[in-house]
Structure 1
């Protein structure tokens, strides 16, 4: 299928008539780091080619080369059997190649309509034809079955809706090759179903899809060809008929696919208690969280599962102080903290790892070290002066404790893979020495190896007496380290599981059906 050179002999040879775009012996070097090492990769005409690999394997780098974001250090690209130089995203777009990036590239202060047509506005004799752009934007939202007003500012949309806008922008170009880098990372199950219908429609129209996802089982439902990258090298490729979950995991990380098990913790007194907590919906109509009661003990790991819109994020952000509740109380070790600011809740021992690490968890202009030390700045300042020695000790300890793979504390935060960026956000909050840690979708956009590391870190902290609460939209993660699984539905607790937990029972309680 996708092997052209001797070093990658595990891959089958492709029928070149089936290939619309091919990367031949492509390498990419960033200084001393070689991200791609002679990769051969084929995009199949009218089919879905799924690219699997851990964070840092080179997937996004390869896609950026194919879409003109990056120039390869060596190698060549073949389009329709002829060599081509894709020197920019404009050139790629003119050739019919579009990409949906993993990290959103929307302008938050602009409307949905203006984001979709940014840089390629529809114009006439009298300037931009805003009415036509709005009409086409509404049609795209209808196709994606999303009730979003095109005149809504993007900053007013939740993360999953912003992802839909990103997808709509790519669809609006009518590309012949569409690259999707983690398109479902922030989508609900129903939104994923709609996206997959769109993908099937695009295939029927002859569009070639390159699909990247850490949701392995989900991705397999639409895959026609599977390719695995590891450390910048293609390790395997095969048609869907020869691929299963074990094949993917083995070629990605060997046989190490273990998200852990509930830690052998001694559960103590209640650390966090919610008493009738209610949180208004962002729309102003109704409640996102409706009179919720919950108690989490020291040493306990609790997983909150639910579909998008179930109220998970609103509950977490209210407990952390980011959203004001409309009723109820929040108790930390028996003390009512409902009136405290975010800073005072952190000082009291309650921290939140937010869902959107790029927007809410990291400062992009700061280094890895400064991001790690930011939340605990009070521990190394005196009389408004920073004590560098103490700060460096905190940074070095955090890097070691959460196993951040980095060139050093002074490396730009943007130089890290998604999994390592997530570990920086977690490390930053753990550096404050909390007694309760909340994590909203801690595995979003990271690979299975990084997930296992994140869950290992949380399990260790729970064993040491910390209370851990995490949300997830991946049912398999409920079966990892949680002592207890809480299923939320429409702002309320729909079910609670402490033993004999199954995927089917969790999904049934949430109102979801299994993907088959």
Structure 2
């Protein structure tokens, strides 16, 4: 059977930023009715390629074709007119207006020069129903979950003449049921002949929903493969350019080694009224405490309680043997406790500031406005962390927001480590970054613990939690149901604790 003509085809594409080629003579194609994954490490060129086919980046060399016809996209608006739409990880809609208004934003039906709200809601209802979505078009968008907002963004895309849909990390903040609903919609769009680019770092999801995968490495094309014909381990090897067995793994000391030791931090009966109830936690020096649980189980709330972001309603926290009543992250920092939020874009990296400015930000804030660091000392400090953490490119003056997700996370870690903390609380430090960068962050956490730093490591990926941690605290419904040695746990055993109902425990 002959292969159909590609709906979208990029041939021999190169995009330069200064003297560096972000993508270098890369070819890429998408077929109608297929879901295509773009895979590679951070800095491999994925974002640049996506921007090239959506009108954000101009091609320095190469040709873009739609249905065999050469096209020139000078802006995202040009891409929309060509039938190419993008739904980003960060929803780019208006939460303060209705679902219908978001779907038809800029294309509102009018009557006598005025927006016809009744007809707009009716059309929105038809678009949503066409996707099998039961969403009130008159409801405020911001009243819905992130998952529903993403589906509304997809509905907005199909309300135009959609031919190519780009989904950028669409599942990073979704739970299992929400992912299933999104995949149902994706399969519906496949049936209509839409070509879908699904960008995700979750290998399980890539293999569940994608028909084809293209791998990039260092801005160059590695290959295009049918997903069903490519083993997962082979995909990892192609992305990394080396064997997974070459990567370091955490070496755990026996759990008995901490018996009798005093924890660096002890929390007893901690509740905040915001998702965490009567939590008991012990964090030992030079050890990694992993935190596992489903979305909404209280993982982030626990981190915020321990680091002073949220005030305690009940409970006590003891640090280095002394009761503490810190009421802000700044006061927690005075005790050597640093917090890295899961929302690195809004509560972490300052995208407009340089790499240097981001790294020295916390140290300068700690010194105060009247004790400015000398510029030479700032560069010395920042350079030391860029080298230690392998931040790339090693350009201190580059805006941090232009770095890949993995390198942004390293910049954020450098800022916190420059404060010489004793306990580092990391909430989803590897979310949204590629597998190579994930391993680098995981290895760094192990090295920090080996050098005496205490770490709390929170992740939705159980395999990652078990790999990095010495002990794992399992959360369910805002409560810690058990804390177990990581070496004695498996993904299945942790899932069993997460899924177990309170009734099951009562029956024992």
Per the TM superposition, whether the score is higher than 0.5 is yes
1:451 aligns with 2:438: yes
SS at match of 1:221: helix
SS at match of 2:11: strand
* Partners of 2:102 and 2:156 within 8 A in 1: no
SS at match of 2:157: coil
- Aligned match of 1:172: 156
- Aligned match of 2:419: 432
RMSD: 2.8
Task: Give me the whole-angstrom Cα distance separating, in 2, the residues matched to 1:328 and 1:309.
Answer: 21
- Aligned match of 2:490: 502
Residues 340-349 or 44-53, more deviating: 340-349
* Partners of 1:189 and 1:307 within 8 A in 2: no
Find the partner of 1:408 among 387, 395, 403.
Answer: 395
- Aligned match of 2:75: 88
SS at match of 1:68: coil
Task: Give me the whole-angstrom Cα distance separating, in 2, the residues matched to 1:138 and 1:357.
Answer: 37
Q: Deviations over 1:24-50 (max 9, x none)?
A: 111111111101111111101101111
- Aligned match of 2:112: 125
- Aligned match of 1:312: 299
Q: Are the structure 2 counterparts of residues 453 and 389 from structure 1 closer, same or farther at C-alpha, using a change threshold of 3 Å?
A: same
Find the partner of 1:292 among 264, 269, 279.
Answer: 279
SS at match of 1:270: coil
- Aligned match of 2:263: 270
Residues 456-465 or 486-495, more deviating: 486-495
Q: Are the structure 2 counterparts of residues 194 and 237 from structure 1 closer, same or farther at C-alpha, using a change threshold of 3 Å?
A: same
* Partners of 2:88 and 2:168 within 8 A in 1: yes
Find the partner of 2:454 among 449, 467, 475.
Answer: 467
* Partners of 1:263 and 1:481 within 8 A in 2: no
Within a 5 Å distance, the mapping from 1:13-92 to structure 2 comes to 17-92=4-79
SS at match of 1:211: strand
Task: Give me the whole-angstrom Cα distance separating, in 2, the residues matched to 1:373 and 1:145.
Answer: 49
Q: Deviations over 1:248-272 (max 9, x none)?
A: 1011013443462244496442112
Find the partner of 1:358 among 315, 337, 345.
Answer: 345
Task: Give me the whole-angstrom Cα distance separating, in 2, the residues matched to 1:240 and 1:379.
Answer: 50
Q: CA deviation at 1:350?
A: 0.5
SS at match of 1:494: strand
Q: CA deviation at 1:339?
A: 3.5
* Partners of 1:167 and 1:183 within 8 A in 2: no
Q: Deviations over 1:303-331 (max 9, x none)?
A: 11111111111111122222223221222
Task: Give me the whole-angstrom Cα distance separating, in 2, the residues matched to 1:269 and 1:414.
Answer: 41
Task: Give me the whole-angstrom Cα distance separating, in 1, the residues matched to 2:135 and 2:251.
Answer: 38
1:484 aligns with 2:471: yes
SS at match of 1:366: coil
Find the partner of 2:170 among 159, 174, 183.
Answer: 183
* Partners of 2:13 and 2:62 within 8 A in 1: yes
Task: Give me the whole-angstrom Cα distance separating, in 1, the residues matched to 2:317 and 2:109.
Answer: 51
SS at match of 2:24: strand
* Partners of 2:4 and 2:31 within 8 A in 1: no
SS at match of 2:327: coil
Q: CA deviation at 1:171?
A: 3.0
Task: Give me the whole-angstrom Cα distance separating, in 2, the residues matched to 1:387 and 1:421.
Answer: 24
* Partners of 1:259 and 1:480 within 8 A in 2: no
* Partners of 1:380 and 1:390 within 8 A in 2: no
Task: Give me the whole-angstrom Cα distance separating, in 1, the residues matched to 2:126 and 2:373.
Answer: 52
Q: CA deviation at 1:228?
A: 0.5
SS at match of 1:480: helix
Task: Give me the whole-angstrom Cα distance separating, in 2, the residues matched to 1:248 and 1:426.
Answer: 28
SS at match of 1:178: strand
Q: Deviations over 1:135-164 (max 9, x none)?
A: 73898599568899942548xx8xxx4465
Q: Are the structure 2 counterparts of residues 439 and 383 from structure 1 closer, same or farther at C-alpha, using a change threshold of 3 Å?
A: same
Q: CA deviation at 1:434?
A: 0.7
- Aligned match of 1:284: none
* Partners of 2:215 and 2:238 within 8 A in 1: yes
Q: How many pairs does the alignment contain?
A: 488
* Partners of 2:125 and 2:137 within 8 A in 1: no
Q: Are the structure 2 counterparts of residues 47 and 270 from structure 1 closer, same or farther at C-alpha, using a change threshold of 3 Å?
A: same
* Partners of 1:229 and 1:235 within 8 A in 2: yes
Task: Give me the whole-angstrom Cα distance separating, in 2, the residues matched to 1:472 and 1:496.
Answer: 15
Could you tell me the TM-score, scaled by structure 2's length?
0.88
SS at match of 1:57: coil
Q: Are the structure 2 counterparts of residues 375 and 106 from structure 1 closer, same or farther at C-alpha, using a change threshold of 3 Å?
A: farther
